[in-house]
Amino acid sequence: MSRGVRALFTPDASGGVLAVKAAPKASRNAIVGPMPTADGHALKVAVTAPADKGKANEAIAALVAEAFRVPKGAVSVIAGATDRSKLLRIAGDPLALSNIAQRWMPS
């Protein structure tokens, strides 16, 4: 039985789930772009915050919220809180979020 390949962004009824590869303690805050992972694709997100007491997670959520044009409270870590590979739930209009995610979707 083969494992399924995870999409970078998966829309659902209340928004969607974004696969992220965190890069804490970077020189600048930036969405670097898509990258292949063992599970599919993820969006590499670099933040200057250290991976200490959730600081990097907060910075990643804020950066993703800005990129997807949603309030910071609309983004939450649903898997991988202590790992560099994370799944973020983004609450909002699934169609609008999918359209924004398209710019990072691998071809």
Task: Return the number of other C-beta atoms located less than 10 Å from residue 26's C-beta.
Answer: 17
Q: Taking 60 as the threshold, does the pLDDT of residue 2 lie above it?
A: no
Tens digit of each residue's pLDDT (9 = 90 or more) over 9-30 = 999 999 999 999 999 999 999 9
Instruction: For residue 42, give Cα distances in angstroms to 1, 21, 24, 53, 87.
Output: 23, 6, 15, 23, 9
Give me the domains of the chain, ranges plus CATH numbers.
17-104 (3.30.1200.10)
Tens digit of each residue's pLDDT (9 = 90 or more) over 94-106 = 999 999 999 998 7
Strands 40-46 and 15-23, by their bridges, are parallel
pLDDT of residue 107: 62
Q: CA–CA separation, 16 vs 23, rounded Å? A: 22
φ, ψ dihedrals at 69, nearest 5°: 55, 45
